[in-house]
A and B are shown apart, each in its own frame.
Chain A
Amino acid sequence: MSEQRITNEELKVKLADLLPGATVTSDLAGMPVIAVVNDAYVAAIKTLRDEPSLQFAILSDLTGVHYPNDPQPFEVVVHLTSMHLARQIRVKVRAVGDPPTVPSLAAFWQAANWHEREALDMLGIVFAGHPDPRRIFLEEDADFHPLRKEFPTRGYED
């Protein structure tokens, strides 16, 4: 493992340089958070994965969060890991349109396939270009998305 010890602050400066147009902030624990607009999402992921000085080559997680009061209520959150830097980062993008849509990362990682199906199933986020857009946990004829905030924890029927 070619480990380069880099501080989160140094990494943030580097990310801001490499991703013009993206907003780079920190979370509560100092992990760099990159917010990109829908159109710049795929290009940003490509840079993060392929740039030799970053090498965020592992798609650790991909999920969604529902903010019903926001104009674009669905946010897709991606966690990437770089063995090269021994760091993890978070990339956020808002889904646009109706149904809320975000480009799929399945062309970058096979791993994205199931994570995106889960976000589709749980939140109803559509991933444009996904090779197999089916529900993953719930039955195929379900007409609800349980992790949406309006969905009651007990469900609509017993």
Chain B
Amino acid sequence: MAESRYMTLNMGPQHPSTHGVLRIVLELDGERVVAAKPVIGYLHRGIEKLAEGLTYHQILPLTDRLDYTACMNCNLGYTWAVERLLGIEDEIPARAATIRIIMAELSRIGGHLIWLGSHAGDMGATTVFIYAFREREWIYELFEDVCGQRMTVSYPRVGGVSQDLPAGWIDNCRAFCKKMPQCVDEYERLLTNNRIWQARTKNVGVLSEADVYEWGLTGPMARGSGVEYDVRRVLPYGGYENYDFLIPLGETGDTYDRYLVRMQEMRQSVRIVEQALDRLEEGPILADIPRIAPPPKVDVGTKIEALIHHFHLVLEGFDTPQGEIYFPSEAPKGELGFYLVSDGGPKPYRMKIRVPSFSNLQSMVRMAPGRYLADMVTLVGTIDICLADVDK
């Protein structure tokens, strides 16, 4: 066997900084990384295959299990996609559409907070983790108040949302919006001008604009390198064209820029939530399409007709137009796309999920060579992966 001067090291699949089961095969020249190959699939659950055997309402809880740090965005991406397939995008009641925007943006903040806490924690700044999880807890309480679930929410429905906002929820959400920018200030005081943080993140994992196109990067991974690709702006959906928000961009495309982009995005999400709260009007929360949208939950518990209707919609489903659609939405990690092929029946013929983490993780191959081994923890963090999202 030929002598190799490089050492091969498996980082993972059970390494505390990979947040899930990711293995990276490293070729090391001393402390320097020569090549890095991510090995994935440890969490593959075959969600696309399972979906082919389920009706459209039954698939919804599976989407929670994609990016479980931002379930609401995955739920919404799916329901929006099914509504586009059915051609009922314009029939979603205004109140439901506004609630969805609120939930999507709260979930985005929650997703970014998990990223911030774990990313900083991985690099030794453990205080940030405690701070970030304090506000994340508030978001999860808001979710729990509205639908009884913290993480796997399954809150939206095809045709609207499952439950209306409870009394006092809007005031609690407004209090959150008032507090959150101050909390972001607080995180930034810990990190933005911190010399250790800057030394660990500046000029680490630099991606150029050309790299963004080459590797198919989306979300903060693209915007950190100055590519203004935000699905909410480029291909607006769900009413985002009516909201005023900025798209933060980075300049050098390093880990520090992506950090700044995500911090600014949390502030912008708060702005969107505030605008949505101002616009929230009274009205129904589910479209009046009995063939598709489930009956109100209160009726299901009290009226036999509604209960039968509910069972029928979930178990037998509804017919769909024969054909196909692709629906992209902006999840915290990037473009979440659902490609649905329908043969006209109540179950998808094929459902392909374009998950953001999958494409973004591949850029590890580009970023790692030439860095030190210790930087691998930074690089895993800056991509903001969720392995459940990568592996489907």
Q: List residues of A whose CB falls within 8 A of some B CB.
A: 1, 3, 27-29, 31, 57-61, 63, 65-66, 77, 79, 81, 83, 86-88, 90, 109-111, 113-115, 118, 122, 135-138, 146-147, 151, 153
Contact = CB atoms under 8 A, between A and B. Distances in A.
Contact of B234 (A31, A63, A83): A83
Contact of A27 (B53, B324, B349): B324
Given A61-B337, A65-B350, A28 B321 contact: yes
A79 B339 CA distance: 9
Given A79-B339, A110-B215, A60 B44 contact: no
B49 A153 contact: yes
30 contacts: A1-B228, A27-B324, A27-B326, A28-B325, A29-B87, A29-B327, A31-B326, A58-B218, A58-B229, A60-B328, A60-B335, A60-B337, A61-B337, A61-B339, A61-B352, A61-B354, A63-B354, A65-B349, A77-B352, A86-B234, A90-B326, A109-B215, A110-B362, A111-B214, A114-B358, A114-B359, A114-B362, A137-B391, A138-B41, A147-B49
Nearest to A153: B53
Given A28-B321, A138-B44, 14 more contacts: A27-B326, A29-B85, A29-B325, A29-B327, A58-B218, A60-B354, A63-B354, A77-B339, A88-B326, A109-B214, A109-B215, A110-B215, A111-B359, A147-B350
Contacts of A122: 48
B160 to A, nearest CB: 20
Contacts of B213: 57-58, 109
A136 B40 contact: yes
A79 B326 contact: yes
Contacts of B228: 1, 83
B41 A137 contact: yes
B216 A111 contact: yes
A79 B52 contact: no
B48 A147 contact: yes
A52 to B, nearest CB: 15
Interface residues of B, number: 44
Nearest to A151: B49
Contacts of A60: 216, 218, 328, 335, 337, 354
B337 A79 contact: yes
Interface in B30-51: 40-41, 44, 46, 48-50
Contact of B46 (A59, A81, A146): A146
A88 B354 contact: no
A115 B354 CA distance: 10
B324 A146 contact: no
Contacts, number: 106
B323 interface: yes
A21 to B, nearest CB: 22
A111 B364 CA distance: 12
Contacts of A118: 358
B252 to A, nearest CB: 20
Contacts of B350: 65-66, 147
Contacts of A151: 49
A37 B366 CA distance: 33
A65 B341 CA distance: 9
Contact of A109 (B216, B218, B321, B339): B216
B362 A111 contact: yes
B84 interface: yes
Contacts of B44: 137-138
A3 B352 CA distance: 28
A109 B323 CA distance: 28
B130 interface: no
A39 B325 CA distance: 26
A110 B87 contact: no
Nearest to B89: A29
Contacts of A137: 40-41, 44, 391-392
A29 B324 CA distance: 8
Nearest to B320: A28
B362 A29 contact: no
A63 B339 contact: yes
Interface in B318-334: 321, 323-328
Contacts of A57: 213
A27 B391 CA distance: 28
A87 B85 CA distance: 18
Nearest to A67: B349
Nearest to A135: B41
B246 interface: no
Nearest to B349: A65
B315 interface: no
B358 to A, nearest CB: 7
B308 interface: no
A50 B339 CA distance: 25
B9 interface: no
A153 B53 CA distance: 8
B289 interface: no
